[in-house]
Amino acid sequence: MSKNKIFLQLIFCLCSIVTLYGSELEQRKDSIKELLMVTSETNKRLELLEKMSYLSMDDSTGYFWLNQLRKEASEARDTDKEGWAIRTLVRFYYNMGDVDNVSHYVSRIDSLAKVTGEYKDYYFDAHTFLCQLLLWDDQFEKAADAAIRLYNLAKEEKNETGIICSCETQGLINQRIGRDSVAVDFFLEGLDLLQTKKTEYRYVVQYLNNMIESELKLNRFESVHKHLDQLQTLIADIKSGNYGPDPSFPYDRCTLLSEAFYLSLYVRQKNAPEAKKHMEAAIPYLDNLDDTYVRIFYMFNVASYYKLAGQYTQALNTINAVAELDNSPDVKKLRAEILMDMGNTREAALQYKEALVQNEEINSASFVRQLSQLHALHDMNNLELQIKELRVAELELGAKQQQLKWTLALAGLFLVILILGTIIYMHTHKLKNELQKDKQALLESEKALRIARDHAEESDRLKSLFLSNMSHEIRTPLNAIVGFAQILDVETEIGDERKEYTRIIMDNSALLLNLVNDILDISRLESERYRFTFAEENLTECCRSALMSVEHRVKPGVELRLTPENENFTLKTDKLRLQQVLINLVGNATKFTERGFIELAYTIDEANGVVRFTVTDTGCGIPADKQDAIFERFEKLNECVQGTGLGLSICRIIAERFEGEVTLDKDYTDGARFIFTHSLHL
């Protein structure tokens, strides 16, 4: 009974505090209004309006006071206060999801930047709100285009706030379209700058949440663990007041989300005891949670834990509860996997089918967007023809202008010789008018050429984005094909012939997936948008890892060798891309070597400043008539051997980024020998 009284007293005290705070806030607003009525000094009025805007930020009068501040700051030519007011109006409409008003006030920010000639923090904040609102509205192309322009401008202006904002936006865009590795690169770049700003701890929490989500999808468990520890330490510091009092910080939501991330991490690592510990640690925060996204994410991972622990009934009940909130394809897929584990293959197949249908519906909307990009490519071809025609017209105008100059010279000569001054004057005046018209036409042609060039560059960017998106979209039906093939493969009642057909489906699906990945690599590398990450790496370990990746392809009776010149040599390189070159070269050797050996070796050539790798085999070799063609795309020595014909083209592009090259040793006749060089001084 006494505990109930204490609880009621606490509630009464909290209500009193809220009432007093609300009353105090209204009193402060009233006092500022009274001061505004009697104050005429410009600077004082601007200060009062700014305070009033802060106090009214989250209620319906916020729009009125911000607009009043904007108007009076504009009249007083106080661009900083005007810019802050416009930026805050953008935020006001961003929270309402009003794209039109956000676009309107962003255009005002652009006009202000043109007047001042400066791009300040409020400019980048406003444009970031617009980019992210376009992203949430599924306008990926517009969001991506705006984010790239904002990122380049921030780099040019060396504005850290702009770089941080645009890095977050580009990371979110790439995260939404499934390019999580690119998203992580942008998040890391922004986070490195953001962590130097002590007052932006809330933004750091937001950045870490986004980055951890992408790293989980990429199964980068070590990085996930590191960033989760950093996140929980930061949340604890905020709660303890190390950054000052912050009563509005969503501590329960952030703590629950971090525990859900840990739960997802340990489920993916198949560590049931640790997963259970974090699942239970999150339970006390569920009652006060009003965030549907976090609740769905937590419950989804709880269902995954029950599946891992073999508690299939609890797993099925939990995922059914998730489906009531969000019946996405991922939810359907997890339910199908649980049903498969329970032995209910028929129901699992139905769930897989529903997930596939839902994915197709989502992809159909995406396909409409891709059609617009195809139209843009078609327009680009027409623009190229127009550019050629404009260049011809420009040359003709130049010739005509030269001809007019000679005519004027002759007219001057006749003016001196002949007495017909009036007639020659009129003729010369007429020629000058024609020349002015031709000059104006030339200027208009030059302007049209610039516009056509901009359209062509934009179309080329859309083409690269289209290729990247389509490569991603192809993977979705491929995953469904592989999933159904795996269901057929585990069925025990089907005959050997159907099992063979199932294996053919799985093998060819893997081949098609490799082709998509190769095409995506070619697109990224050629566009030079893929950023290499260089670090000091042990060269022998890199080579050994590459050999381990292909040793299952080596035919019986073939010896796989590694011959390093210096086992402890370190090289500054991008480890993943270096291994990709080595795996492609050694993988090609395994296809054509039936007996003998395959040797990977490297030597350090200090004189020429390179590391020289050689991949030597005792296979069938390369015919002389095809030795110059093997580096062409889709070129294959044997059409009966599986492969895309892109491997050597990718190797050559990566080698050029390493300031080296890939060549064939034509003097070696006992098989094939490829030579790959890598600069020592990157």
Q: Which contacts of 477-481 are long-range, i.e. CB under 8 A and separated by 24 or more positions?
A: 477/356, 477/359, 477/360, 478/509, 478/512, 478/513, 478/516, 480/352, 480/355, 480/356, 480/359, 481/505, 481/509
Q: Which residues have C-beta within 8 Å of that of residue 22, sequence separation ≥ 6?
A: none
CB 645 within 8 A of CB 636: yes
In angstroms, the Cα distances linking 522 to 525, 648, 656 are 5, 11, 13
The answer to whether residues 469 and 568 belong to one domain is no
Q: What is the DSSP letter of 661?
A: -
Are residue 539 and residue 672 in the same domain, yes or no? yes
Q: What would the DSSP string read from start to end of 69-137?
A: HHHHHHHTT-HHHHHHHHHHHHHHHHHHT-HHHHHHHHHHHHHHHHHHT---HHHHHHHHHHHHHHHHT
Angle at 184 between CA 120 and CA 278, to 5 degrees: 115
The pLDDT value given to residue 504: 77
Q: What confidence tens digit (pLDDT) does each residue in 18-73 have?
A: 343 446 667 787 788 788 888 888 888 888 888 877 777 666 677 788 888 888 88
Mean pLDDT of the chain: 80
- Going by C-alpha positions, the residue among 260, 257, 184, 171 that lies closest to residue 219 is 184
pLDDT at position 351 is 82
For the segment 627-678, what is each residue's pLDDT rounded down to a tens digit? 777 877 666 655 545 555 677 888 998 999 999 999 999 999 899 999 999 9
Q: Which two tokens stand for residue 453?
A: 């060039």
Which DSSP symbol is given to 270? T
Question: d(Cα 124, Cα 78) in Å, to the nearest integer?
Answer: 19
Helix axes 292-308, 272-282, angle to 10 degrees: 150
**Residue 644: inside a domain:** yes
User: Tell me: the pLDDT tens digits for 160-179?
Assistant: 888 988 898 888 888 888 88
Q: Do 612 and 649 reside in the same domain of the chain?
A: yes
State whether residue 664 is helix, strand or coil: strand
User: By residue range, what is the domain housing residue 600?
Assistant: 535-679
Question: Is 571:536 a contact under the CB 8 Å cutoff?
Answer: yes
Confidence of residue 621 (pLDDT cuts 50, 70, 90): confident
**Amino acid 543: pLDDT:** 95
- pTM of this prediction? 0.50
One domain, residues 370 and 507: yes
What is the tens place of the pLDDT at every residue in 344-387? Answer: 888 888 888 887 887 777 665 554 454 443 344 344 445 455 55
Output DSSP code: residue 573: E
Q: Do 570 and 504 share a domain, yes or no?
A: no
Residue at 305 is within a domain: no
pLDDT tens for each residue of 173-218? 888 888 889 989 998 988 888 888 777 888 888 889 999 999 998 9
Q: Specify the higher pLDDT residue, 470 or 546.
A: 546
State whether 566 and 594 are in the same domain.
yes
Instruction: Write out the two tokens for 399.
Output: 């010739």
d(CA 334, CA 332): 6
Which CATH number characterizes residue 664's domain?
3.30.565.10
Q: Is residue 516 located within the same domain as residue 371? A: yes
- Tokens 């401008």, located at residue: 153
